[in-house]
Amino acid sequence: MHPPDHVTGLASRGECERRLAALPPGTFSLVICDVVGLKDVNEREGFLAGDACLRRAAERLRDEAAGADLVARLGGDELLAVFSGAGAAASAARTARVLAASRSPAMRAAAADSAAGEDPGPLIERLYATMRRA
């Protein structure tokens, strides 16, 4: 077990990787999101303000992904939610839509379903690419 992220209180990247590795491919869906403009907040108002913004984003993800198996901070301003079981794809898609419409703080978000035989790493990379195009 890895300690939680020190800023957000979410699971750490290490814990996320450990838990994802234990899930069979094709059985889960992911939501990835980031905070729009966090770098600007850090530069204009300082890192304490940036950390507060990141904590608000983490709370928002935790609230919207209430049925998730795991909510984690991957690093920087990237946050992730893992859904499994019946309804995982629908829950992930809904969570991504709600977060993308968020204005306090503004967030980008994308959802994807794992495919049979697909490792979590490439799925997360695919999600990053999708989110950055959003």
- pLDDT > 70? residue 134: no
Q: Measured between alpha carbons, how far is 133 from 110 in angstroms, rounded to an integer?
A: 10
Binned at pLDDT 50, 70 and 90, residue 122 comes out as: confident
Mean pLDDT is highest, among 15-19, 85-89, 92-96, 115-119, for 92-96
- E-state strands within 36-87: 70-75, 78-84
- Compute the distance between CA of residue 45 and CA of residue 94 in angstroms, rounded to an integer: 32
* Domains by residue range for the chain, with CATH: 13-133 (3.30.70.270)
Using one digit for the tens of pLDDT, what is the confidence trace for 34-90?
999 999 999 999 999 999 999 999 999 999 999 999 999 999 999 999 999 889 999
In terms of Cβ atoms closer than 10 Å to its own Cβ (0-12, 13-18, 19+), residue 85 is exposed
Percent helix, strand, coil in the chain (nearest 5)?
A: 45, 25, 30
The type of residue at 38 is: L
Task: State pLDDT tens for residues 2-34.
Answer: 889 999 999 999 999 999 989 888 889 999 999
